[in-house]
Structure 1
């Protein structure tokens, strides 16, 4: 069921709202940055995330093809979300870190499917051979 979630970084300098339907599933990616900080996200539409506090506290980190913009709180270092634009097919979306959301029902997350993406090989439509560390 789609609902509005509120979320924040650890120190509270950054807060946001996200329209999400966790029953549609969650995502884990094996690209170098997602794997290192254990990104466990839920995808939201391009207009479905609103930063309500601390936009100026965010640092944008992008690398490689600059498809994803990973936002970090400059105070506590928490990565609450990334904005993704895939030029080859025009997709735009947010990948919201579900552990930064308040009031998430553990059963809802437990019952949601997890899609594994092979970002390391730039093949997000494929499951990586090894997902054990994601």
Structure 2
């Protein structure tokens, strides 16, 4: 496990965060309609490994389907840098948008494992 401190932000920089992430452990892409339309690519981190540095008041929340996950986006630029959730597999987690990590190179991203989740069939937790 190679845990590394990563920094991230929305497009306009109003929302900024940092998280301890092991990208080599893998990322996820879900095929539910929301994730598909957003082209969401996320890395799951425990809530204790995530810190919102700036922009709490700029975040707007959207909840869909079961209304259990908080999909958060910047009210200024509209980018969704992360969201909060809870599952039997991960416990309380933060789904960090890989595209919002400011200190990851294209070469690093090309080497990151990706696991596909089947949210469209509502079996994403089984994958």
TM-score under structure 1 normalisation? Answer: 0.87
Q: In the alignment, what sits opposite 1:27?
A: 28
Deviation at 1:33, TM superposition (A): 1.1
Deviation at 1:90, TM superposition (A): 7.5
Give the match's secondary structure for 1:47: helix
CA contact (8 A) 2:89 2:125 kept: no
Give the match's secondary structure for 2:120: helix
Alignment of 1:1-134 (within 5 A): 1-86=2-87, 91-126=91-126
May I ask how many residue pairs the two structures share in their alignment? 126
Structure 1 unmatched runs, 5+: 128-134
After superposition, the Cα gap between the structure-2 partners of 1:90 and 1:114, relative to the gap in structure 1 and judged at 3 Å, is closer
Structure 2 unmatched runs, 5+: none
The Cα RMSD (Å) is 1.6
